[in-house]
């Protein structure tokens, strides 16, 4: 439904006729700083474990960045901070994404010094990349 409403686009990858992964572009980010700066956000990016390190994630990221570059010079992405996101953290840095400079984000706000939070899938660092 969100694709029909042009809220997001979803790209799906297959390898040998098997579902291998997906990536989505959110045409209006829920992350307030990206909203204010009209930065399009890559969200819900996943390659199934059995298909990782085969170039599928790279192809999905290439497609998303290409689509974003048609309408915006900057791509944004958020990444979780727990060890389960380690591969994604490395991938984004290697692709040229850099932190947006606002620090860690938790649920609906940026974390302040001495603030106590629960470390879970809601803690993220947001990154941007200038597209060429």
CATH fold label, 8-130: Aminopeptidase (3.40.630)
The model's pLDDT over 12-71, given as tens digits with 9 standing for 90+, comes to 999 989 999 999 999 989 999 999 999 999 998 999 989 988 889 999 999 999 999 999
Domain boundaries, the chain: 8-130
Residue 33 burial class via C-beta count within 10 angstroms: exposed 0-12, middle 13-18, buried 19 and up: middle
Tokens representing residue 105 in the block = 């984000």
Per-residue pLDDT tens for 62-110?
999 999 999 999 999 999 999 989 989 999 999 999 999 999 999 999 9
Does pTM surpass 0.75?
yes
Q: Where are the alpha helices (DSSP H) in 1-132?
A: 32-36, 56-69, 86-94
């Amino acid at each position: 439904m969100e694709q029909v409403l042009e809220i997001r686009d979803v790209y799906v990858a297959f390898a040998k006729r098997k579902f291998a992964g997906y990536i989505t572009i959110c045409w209006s980010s829920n992350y307030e700083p990206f909203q204010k700066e009209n930065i399009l956000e890559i969200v819900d990016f996943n390659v199934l474990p059995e298909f990782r390190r085969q170039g599928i994630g790279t192809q999905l990221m290439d497609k998303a960045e290409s689509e974003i570059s048609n309408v915006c010079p900057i791509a944004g992405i958020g990444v979780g901070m727990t060890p389960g996101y380690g591969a994604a953290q490395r991938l984004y840095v290697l692709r040229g994404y850099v932190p947006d400079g606002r620090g860690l984000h938790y649920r609906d706000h940026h974390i302040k010094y001495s603030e106590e939070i629960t470390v879970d899938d809601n803690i993220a660092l947001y990154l941007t990349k200038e597209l060429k």
